[in-house]
A and B are shown apart, each in its own frame.
Chain A
Amino acid sequence: DIVMTQSPDSLAVSLGERATINCKSSQSVLHSSNNKNYLAWYQQKPGQPPKVLIYWASTRESGVPDRFSGSGSGTDFTLTISSLQAEDVAIYYCHQYYSTLTWTFGQGTKVEIK
């Protein structure tokens, strides 16, 4: 299995400040055939299912505010919230969909307001 490890496990950021979450995969999720990174980011608020924010490592899902951005390639990825808003309080997960028969998720990063 590809193991996804996120850091930190939690972080507290002031409103309007930047939040950065890292995700490292145990092997590359960059597919050589199409040069795409099979990496997505999800946001989960209490009592709700995860919602996809970013896919192909850096493509924002329709309707997702542009303060959310994804970067990275191969095994190291980052989700950045450029200016934290109150409604961004949630748990964020990275997810690899490279490994056809075993998709895996990171353990989650809890984002709170400082």
Chain B
Amino acid sequence: QLQLQESGPGLVKPSETLSLTCTVSGGSISSSSYYWGWIRQSPGKGLEWIGTMYYSGYTYYNPSLKSRVTISVDTSKNQFSLKLSSVTAADTAVYYCVRRPRDGCFDYWGQGTLVTVSS
């Protein structure tokens, strides 16, 4: 059974960089059949797609966040990571890592991790 698990600090100071890691178990992140990515959920903005990556390293990001987002992959650890720079209180949200089949919707989600931006 595929499982995705987010990890990282739950509190980040304004203007700093949010860093999260998603560990995938029960399946290979190097599968050519799937994309992997991040979605966040905040009370004010609902569900917001952040970005998606392919195991080869190809990435694409939500244009509204593109200047601040980096998603990277470590196939040796079966993990991928999110970095969001220059955070503000508006970036406070539950962050989910997700899987998407090449031509499908997001079918597997991690449990989510709450990240609060506050000094």
Contacts and interface: CB of A to CB of B under 8 A. Distances in A.
- A interface, over-half SS: loop
Contacts, number: 45
Interface string A50-81: 11100100000100000000000000000000
Interface stretch (A16-24, A82-90, A98-106): A98-106
6 contacts: A50-B106, A55-B104, A93-B47, A102-B62, A105-B46, A105-B48
B46 A108 contact: yes
B107 A52 contact: yes
Interface string B44-65: 0011110000000000101100
Interface residues of B, number: 17
A41 to B, nearest CB: 9
Which of under 10, 10 to 19, 20 to 34, or 35 or more describes the interface residues of A? 20 to 34
Contacts of B62: 102
A105 B96 CA distance: 14
A40 interface: yes
